[in-house]
Amino acid sequence: MMAATPAAATPAAATPAAAPPATGAIGVPLARIEAREKVTGAARYAYEHQPDEVAYATAVPATIARGRISALDAAAAMEVPGVLAVLWHATAPRLQPVADGELAVLQSGRVAYRGQFVALVVAETLEAAREAERLVAIGYEPEEHDSLLREDHPGLYAPETVNPSFPAATSDGDVEAGLRAAAVAIDKTYRTPALHNNAMEPHATVALWDGDDLTCWDSNQGAPAHRATLAQVFGLDPARVRVISPHVGGGFGSKGSPRPQLVLAALAARVVARPVKLAVTRRQMWAVTGYRTPTIQRLRLGADAEGRLTAIAHDVVEQTSTVREFAEQTAVATRMMYAAPNRSTSHRLVALDVPTPSWMRAPGECPGMFALESAVDELAIAAGIDPIELRVRNEPEVDPHSGHRFSSRGLIACLREGAERFGWAGRDPAPGVRREGCRLVGTGVAASTYPVYRRGAQAFARAEPGGGFTVGVGAADIGTGARTALTQIAADALGAGVDEVRVELGDSALPRAPVAGGSAGTASWGTAVVKACRALRERLDGEHGGVVPPDGLRADADSEQDVADQEPMARHAFGAQFAEVKVDLDTGETEVSRLLGVFGVGRIVNPRTARSQLVGGMTMGMGMALLEESVLDPQFGDYVNHDLAGYHVACNADVRDIQAHWIDEEDPHLNPMGSKGIGEIGIVGTAAAIANAVHHATGIRVRELPIRLDDLLWAEAADGS
């Protein structure tokens, strides 16, 4: 039975200038609080901190994909003027074991993948360190390696869980019976390549010891979590460790967990007894900072004559490393997206001689929804039903997997609003019939979704004796505008102007907070901030009669119990992506002439920064569809295009017309702000919408990303297979 479109789902303007009037600070298109600092260079990033007598370190990567280090000769390197130390597993201090094997740097002679850090040079200048690095002679005992993912790999196994803790496999009903009973069915395989995060600011750390107290300026997505791991690695009380990261130049998930350079910088600083700087080079980022696993996804869909799904099966093959298991949750979104009586999902992994995959913007949902939404488009064509209408007919009343009711579900509203804005009505569904000169033109649609998370956090709010308020929370602003949004949230809760509020974040000395990840930052930090600010307001208005004591007045809050007390519900953001493409008949070049997204993401805290996040995600999704690919050379077990000359990302010239809009969506079951995360949903579904548009333009169905020129230069594509 089809759910009705929510009455509250009316279109809202997407541009800051047209934002509806707000009664408080939330909803105002406020410019970024730190904007002037960033454009003038006053904002200091991790590597820019300059303690006295700082030394410089460079990491030496392994040149084999598997084996052992048999010897290391550092004599020539040590003769370079200014070199202080050369460390490797035979000379480095011992570290405490932690769950993440990637952090056991210089603890063993084993080489698990090409590019793994196996030595470190420390010198008085960066130039000396780089020169000495080239003189370190390493002997290896190489072993046969295996780095190629394939669906018939004998080492495939089913993990217990997939990121973060979902069951790896699910089954409801009888999928095989549902497929046999279907009037129309498809069985297709989709592939996505390895993709690498490439934040503008590379991973970097400045480490400083003062006795047994460790301070690190580090580029990361969560200072408190990084402090906890550092304390474990070095066997310290967490109170003796401080991690500071007030400004971070992007992360996309790659800075969500500690990386080897953090541990190496601290290790080197202890050995040479002076501060040490270490930055990962752009090329080294392909090995030691995480990436999106390649996937092989089989989708089987069956539907009755009216297009209602009778069965959904989504089976995924992906890779991990031999160092640490990471299983991406690629099929999880399929479990709740559409109604069907018979459903199954599975994930299988193989541990290869490759770096460990990790989080990359919308892990799981991004590649998984490419496959699902491409398959839904193929099913709609096979059934002769408009792809929007097919999705509407399969709208569930409750979460098909958990059975929980949705806190809100704006998918149909987004599809309807997007169709109107995009001009979907009257679209000729026949592929390959619309031309503009020498180019074929096509349009496509796909749905987006991302779960709504909220994690426990702590915060304080303080009324200053000289006027104004200070709010502290161990959050991270990785370029998303978190500092600005939290200022608005605090001002709203305090009943104050945004110019009266100063937010402190990016420091593990501040109250504990979760990482900026899972599109959960604003919801998690904001809940604690609201609690602290309201408590402070009550104290000011109550026992203190509005008078601030000479030393100020502070209130603290912890939202852990608020999260624990949430009613079990299915909480998700939804969206609809529309794409128009033009494919050159002679060259196969694909231009995305229009991208339009409409999203149901609860209450918008800041329309200006929200639009920036949504447009950024959509642009990244376009890069995934047409440009991005980490190309593996199986002979060496290495990615050969490990720089921004060979690894292509979308830029201004690639984005002709891109628009992000949202519907009015009121959801009282989320957090005090009524907001949903927006950092990741923009990328979800974009690649599928573009691939679907390419099929509509050419009749060629591309099921492996990125879409290449040669994919579209076939002599004939009559059946689109």
List, for residues 492-511, the tens digit of each pLDDT value.
999 999 999 999 999 999 99
Q: What is the mean pLDDT of residues 448-467?
A: 96
pLDDT score, position 534: 96
Q: At what angle do helices 223-234 and 260-272 cross, to 10 degrees?
A: 50
Q: Which of 511, 545, 564 is the last residue of a domain?
A: 564
Are 213 and 239 in the same domain?
Answer: yes
Alpha helices in 559-685, H assignment, sequence order: 560-564, 607-626
**566-590 pLDDT tens trace:** 999 999 999 999 999 999 999 999 9
In a domain, 151, yes or no: no
**245-274 pLDDT tens trace:** 999 999 999 999 999 999 999 999 999 999
Are 488 and 520 in the same domain?
Answer: yes
315 and 381 Cβ atoms separated by less than 8 Å: no
Alpha helices in 237-364, H assignment, sequence order: 260-272, 285-288, 334-337
106 and 30 Cβ atoms separated by less than 8 Å: no
Are 594 and 511 in the same domain?
Answer: no
**534-560 pLDDT tens trace:** 999 999 988 767 778 988 999 999 999
Can you tell me whether residue 367 is helix, strand or coil? helix
CB burial of residue 506 (10 Å; 0-12, 13-18, 19+)? buried
52 closest CA partner among 310, 316, 273 = 273
pLDDT score, position 204: 98
Which structural domain range is residue 248 located in? Answer: 53-144+198-288
The dihedral formed by the CA atoms of 82, 643, 248 and 326, expressed in degrees to the nearest 10: -110
pLDDT score, position 497: 95
Residues 6+ apart with CB under 8 A from 400: 172, 335, 336, 338, 339, 340, 343
In a domain, 140, yes or no: yes
Vertex 313, ends 308 and 315: CA angle to 5°? 155
Q: Of these residues, 328, 378, 395, 680, which one is catalytic?
A: 680
Residues 6+ apart with CB under 8 A from 40: none
**277-289 pLDDT tens trace:** 999 999 999 999 9
Work out the percent of the chain whose per-residue pLDDT is above 90.
Answer: 93
In a domain, 323, yes or no: no
Q: pLDDT band at residue 717, thresholds of 50, 70 and 90? A: very low
**301-311 pLDDT tens trace:** 999 999 999 99
Q: What is the mean pLDDT of residues 284-299?
A: 97
Q: What is the mean pLDDT of residues 609-637?
A: 97
Are 718 and 616 in the same domain?
Answer: yes
**129-142 pLDDT tens trace:** 999 999 999 999 99
What's the mean pLDDT when you consider all of the chain?
94
pLDDT score, position 656: 87
In a domain, 348, yes or no: no
**345-377 pLDDT tens trace:** 999 999 999 999 999 999 999 999 999 999 999
Pick from 3-17, 51-65, 520-534, 648-662: least confident: 3-17
Please give the model's pTM, rounded to 2 decimal places: 0.94
22 pLDDT higher than 70: no
pLDDT score, position 604: 97
DSSP 107: S
Are 12 and 68 in the same domain?
Answer: no
Q: pLDDT band at residue 334, thresholds of 50, 70 and 90? A: very high
pLDDT score, position 15: 33
Q: What is the mean pLDDT of residues 210-229?
A: 97
DSSP letters, 299-364, are: EEEEE-TTS-EEEEEEEEEEEEESSS-----TTTTHHHHS--SSEEEEEEEEEESSPPP---SSTT
Q: What is the mean pLDDT of residues 41-50?
A: 96
Are 511 and 482 in the same domain?
Answer: yes
Q: 123 vs 60, 244, 503, CA distance in Å?
A: 14, 24, 38
In a domain, 502, yes or no: yes
Are 388 and 440 in the same domain?
Answer: yes
Are 551 and 427 in the same domain?
Answer: no
Q: In the chain, how many domains are there?
A: 3
In a domain, 395, yes or no: yes
- Measured in residues, the chain has a length of 721
pLDDT score, position 655: 85
Vertex 294, ends 292 and 296: CA angle to 5°? 140
pLDDT score, position 21: 36
- Token code pair at residue 569: 């519900």
- Token code pair at residue 253: 């998930």
pLDDT score, position 24: 86
458 and 612 Cβ atoms separated by less than 8 Å: no
Pick from 443-447, 682-686, 715-719: least confident: 715-719
195 and 683 Cβ atoms separated by less than 8 Å: no
Are 101 and 230 in the same domain?
Answer: yes
Q: Which of 520, 547, 564 is the last residue of a domain?
A: 564
CB burial of residue 349 (10 Å; 0-12, 13-18, 19+)? buried
Report the distance separating Cα 676 and Cα 600, nearest Å.
Answer: 8
pLDDT score, position 341: 97
171 and 240 Cβ atoms separated by less than 8 Å: no
Q: What is the mean pLDDT of residues 29-34?
A: 96
Are 591 and 712 in the same domain?
Answer: yes
CATH of residue 226's domain is: 3.30.365.10
- Token code pair at residue 21: 């009037």
Can you tell me whether residue 28 is helix, strand or coil? coil
Are 474 and 559 in the same domain?
Answer: yes
Q: pLDDT band at residue 718, thresholds of 50, 70 and 90? A: very low
pLDDT score, position 542: 84
- CB count within 10 Å of CB 663 equals 24
Q: pLDDT band at residue 524, thresholds of 50, 70 and 90? A: very high
- Token code pair at residue 529: 């901030």
Alpha helices in 317-364, H assignment, sequence order: 334-337
6 and 413 Cβ atoms separated by less than 8 Å: yes
In a domain, 221, yes or no: yes
Q: pLDDT band at residue 5, thresholds of 50, 70 and 90? A: very low
Pick from 116-120, 393-397, 545-549: least confident: 545-549
In a domain, 643, yes or no: yes
- Token code pair at residue 466: 């000289």
Report the distance separating Cα 328 and Cα 364, nearest Å.
Answer: 5
pLDDT score, position 544: 67
Q: pLDDT band at residue 41, thresholds of 50, 70 and 90? A: very high
Q: pLDDT band at residue 18, thresholds of 50, 70 and 90? A: very low
170 pLDDT higher than 50: yes
Active site residue 680: yes
pLDDT score, position 543: 74
pLDDT score, position 79: 98
Are 597 and 580 in the same domain?
Answer: yes
Question: Which strand (E) or helix (H) includes residue 555?
Answer: strand 553-558
Q: What is the mean pLDDT of residues 204-229?
A: 98
Q: What sign does the CA torsion over 111, 114, 115, 120 have?
A: positive
Q: Which of 271, 288, 305 is the last residue of a domain?
A: 288
